[in-house]
Amino acid sequence: MALIAIGVNHEHASLDFLERATVPEHEWGKVLRTLVSHRNIHEAVFVSTCLRTEVLADIDFFHGAIEDVTMTLAEATGIDAAEFDERLSVHFDRGVVSHLMRVAAGLQSIVPGEFEILGQLRRALELAEEEHTTGQELRELFHRAIATGRRVRTETAIARGTTSFAFAAVSMALDELGGALRGADVVVVGAGQLATGVVKSLLDTVEGLNQVTVVNRTHARALALVESLGDPRAVARDYGSLVDAVGASRLTIVAAEAPVPLLTHDDLARATGELLVIDLGIPHAVATDVADLTAVRRLDIGALRARIDRVMDDRRDAVDDARRVVDADVEKFLADRRARGAAGIVRDLRAHFDEVVAAELERRGPELADFDDDQTELVRSIVRSVVAKLAHRPTVALKESAGTDQGVRLADATRSLFDL
């Protein structure tokens, strides 16, 4: 078996395509169950964020896995499988380890070093465990990748400054509006992890802010978020008041998932003053046809990515440091994996030989009946020694080749030859 990672992300696909390829969270379990229903896929974890839709799996055959995963994604998203072909990012075996650790380290995020991805990876693993679609191989890889992500943020300066997607969005709002936010009302749509980060960043960084109104389709979640903050400037309103709240705000940040826009052209036309709307949703949560509204300006993830690219020059050294940490952890994981892989097949081979020796000595027991104890033990010792010498070379070869293509072939041949 081998590891593979297949999916689409913001590095190889447009935001428009990623928007179409987004899978709602309530569908993730179905995706996992469909993946492991394929005979070629033994374990699977599904990672779905606003900028990443990926499957990591333990498989038998490379090309068959690409087809199985692509068809599953096509079914889940309603996109023709052929549209994925030119946009797919595919990593195999060693490349999977490096890829996931780089993702966890924030090296493949729009905001390098951002923290949200660690929570998203943990959630993906938890769901796979709930659905019983993961085993020791992927579980160990995800735990090690998350540990690497924490280490990168502790030992390097990659997380200095803009450390989260949420904080980057708030920073963009400050750059756009500056002092206009003093005494202003802000609306945050959503109550999930991203929305929580946005609200906290607003309250912590915007001076003189009058009020942050949290609106969510499930009002109880908005209330829970506000209560957890313990800040009188944060209030929750029911979803029915969304348009009125947005219309009276100076800034609205939408950090919610929706199959159709939550705010339409007509909704935003009701704004009573100048309004900046930052749409962090994929799919778009705010209608894009608002250019003719002179009082409304809409920014989305594309604008956010462009700004981050411009300010990343002063953190190139930190990125290089983070890459070195990741590279070291990748090598450590692969070395440990080789040791684990060799240990398993070697243990099974030795156990098989021991069983053969024990069974043969028991079968020939009557022929040794006239031997005294010393003579019997000598025979047993000679037999065990001969078998150990015969097993030595296969054992060494399995250990030395573990983790390589040759090692996989030798392990498969060993299991087949000795019926392990």
3-class DSSP string for the chain: CEEEEEEEECCCCCHHHHHHHCCCHHHHHHHHHHHHCCCCEEEEEEEEECCEEEEEEEECCHHHHHHHHHHHHHHHHCCCHHHHHCCCEEEECHHHHHHHHHHHCCCCCCCCCCCHHHHHHHHHHHHHHHCCCCCHHHHHHHHHHHHHHHHHHHHCCCCCCCCCHHHHHHHHHHHHHHHHHCCCEEEEECCCHHHHHHHHHHHHHCCCCCEEEEECCCHHHHHHHHHHHCCCCEEEECHHHHHHHHHCCCEEEECCCCCCCCECHHHHCCCCCCEEEEECCCCCCECCCCCCCCCEEEEEHHHHHHHHHHHCHHHHHHHHHHHHHHHHHHHHHHHHHHHHHHHHHHHHHHHHHHHHHHHHHHHCHHHHCCCCHHHHHHHHHHHHHHHHHHHHHHHHHHHHHCCCHHHHHHHHHHHHHCCC
pTM summary value: 0.64
Contact residues for 278 (Cβ-Cβ < 8 A; gap 6+): 169, 172, 173, 251, 252, 253, 254, 298, 299, 300, 304
Kindly report the average pLDDT of the chain as a whole number.
88
pLDDT at residue 1, as a whole number: 63
237 labelled catalytic: no
Which CATH homologous superfamily contains domain 2-161?
A: Glutamyl-tRNA reductase, N-terminal domain (3.30.460.30)
Quick one: average pLDDT of 36-42? 93
pLDDT at residue 234, as a whole number: 95
pLDDT at residue 7, as a whole number: 94
199-221: pLDDT as tens digits: 999 999 898 999 999 999 999 99
- Sketch the domain layout of the chain as residue ranges: 2-161, 165-305, 343-417
pLDDT at residue 227, as a whole number: 94
CA 408 – CA 93 distance, rounded (Å): 12
- Please tell me if the domain spanning 2-161 has the same topology as the one spanning 165-305: no
CATH code of domain 165-305: 3.40.50.720
pLDDT at residue 85, as a whole number: 86
User: Closest Cα to residue 74, out of 93, 91, 55?
Assistant: 55
Q: Which of 120-129, 318-327, 381-390 has the lowest mean pLDDT?
A: 381-390
Quick one: average pLDDT of 371-381? 86
Residue 268: other Cβ atoms inside 10 A: 22
Annotated active-site residue in 13, 35, 50, 253? 50
Is residue 340 pLDDT above 90, yes or no? no
